[in-house]
Amino acid sequence: MLVGVVGGGQLGRMLALAGIPHGHRFRFLDPDPACPASAVGDVVCGAYDDPAALERFASGLDAATFEFENVPAATIDALSALVPTAPGSRSLGVAQDRIAEKQFFRSCGIRVQAFEAVSTEADLAAACGRVGTPAVLKSRRMGYDGKGQSVVRSVRDLADAWRAVGGVPCIYEAFVDFSCEVSMIAVRARDGDVRTWALSMNEHRGGILHRTVAPAPRLPAHVVEEADRAMRTAIEALGHVGVLAIEFFVTPDGLVANEMAPRVHNSAHWTIDGAVTSQFENHVRAVCDEPLGSTDLRGASGMVNLVGSMPDRADLLSVPGARLHDYGKSPRPGRKLGHVNVCAPDERVRDAQLRVLEELVARAAAPVRAR
Ligand code: AMP
């Protein structure tokens, strides 16, 4: 099949790397002809809202999907009229708006923290009065990796927070005092078959995912079951086809849903080397209407993101068991350049491998010392 992917970033690249062995070919719509996915398929170069580019992109496709959730809903609607496209615009619409997302979680019986919609600075003061502090002010739309967010520790921070987010429509949400962050990733096929992967435990630095381990260690079974149940309820309610990710905070009272992504997700990159079928392969299978593959674990898995600067490649490749995934991007502060996966026979070995990798990452990030 010829599969079209809106967006040619690393997620598109890894979708193609998973689908090519099945005989599929890939085409990407991206404004950058040298995007990371250009190494693994054709690129139709154009803006995401350019109807002429969309028509060229859609011509001759057998199936289509997208690799980021900020693609205009109108683009996905137009694409769906031309070619079978998954996920659908319902999943996209919910994930694009943090207020709609929280309301959706609530409608599924999934717990969320107190929140209020904010459109003006006067709204913000009122929301702060009702929700209290500490809290986080986040833009309703177009936010990712901690961008468009500001922490409000007291009412004195309100004016600065409003300026920091650029005075756009926002969500004001209570700060959650969590013990750790986890994400549940699942895939749903067109026939309704749903598979979940092992729960991932995530560590962020500066709002960007730093590392993930799976299965999430030291969590009571009922928390893992709660995440699985929440995911199954949400994915069915959306009628979602493809991979869906939900991020949760773990608190003493159980899980609090933070956000969802209607696409393959950074916290499940470990599945490439740590699961029988990766999130990328199963997403392609779902989009192409093929049977899903087993999501069983291959071992104790982990992933470290390579952000901003690239450690020495030979050093990375010398770590026993390390699997390097380089997205072919030029370094820039805060930019995800690649990740390294490990999959070990047990947690002790996995954690030792991760420690070495994290040291290499820290060394690459350290400023060069004056001699
Ligand atoms: P997000 O873009 O919503 O995923 O936020 C990025 C990261 O900021 C999260 O993974 C958390 O580590 C932190 N964060 C976001 N919202 C909250 C919150 N309401 N309470 C505590 N930490 C938060």
Q: Closest Cα to atom 18, ligand 1: which residue?
A: 175
Domain boundaries, the chain: 2-85, 114-174, 180-370
Residue 69 Cβ contacting ligand 1 at under 6 Å:
no
Q: Which atom of ligand 1 is nearest to the CA of 258?
A: 3
Query: Looking at the chain, how many residues does it have?
Result: 371
* CA of residue 146 to ligand 1 center, whole Å: 7
| pLDDT average, residue stretch 165-192 | 97
247-298, pLDDT tens digit by residue?
999 999 999 999 999 999 999 999 999 999 999 999 999 999 999 999 999 9
121-153, pLDDT tens digit by residue?
999 999 999 999 999 999 999 876 667 899 999
Q: Which atom of ligand 1 is nearest to the CA of 98?
A: 3
Task: Look at residue 371 in the predicted model and tell me its pLDDT.
Answer: 40
| pLDDT average, residue stretch 77-93 | 96
Per DSSP, the residues of 212-236 read EEESPTT--HHHHHHHHHHHHHHHH
pTM equals 0.96
Task: Look at residue 145 in the predicted model and tell me its pLDDT.
Answer: 64
207 or 226: which carries more pLDDT confidence?
226
296-353, pLDDT tens digit by residue?
999 999 999 999 999 999 999 999 999 999 999 999 999 999 999 999 999 999 999 9
Considering the four listed CATH numbers 2.60.120.10, 3.40.50.20, 3.30.565.10, 3.40.640.10, the one that applies to the domain covering 2-85 is 3.40.50.20
Mean of the per-residue pLDDT values of the chain: 96
Mutate to test the pocket of ligand 1, among 96, 133, 136, 256 (most ligand atoms within 8 A of CB): 136
Fold of 114-174: Dna Ligase; domain 1 (3.30.1490)
Per DSSP, the residues of 225-267 read HHHHHHHHHHHHHHT--EEEEEEEEEETTEEEEEEEESS--GG
Burial group, residue 253, by CB count within 10 angstroms (0-12, 13-18, 19+): exposed
Fold of 180-370: D-amino Acid Aminotransferase; Chain A, domain 1 (3.30.470)
Q: Which atom of ligand 1 is nearest to the CA of 144?
A: 2
42-58, pLDDT tens digit by residue?
999 999 999 999 999 99
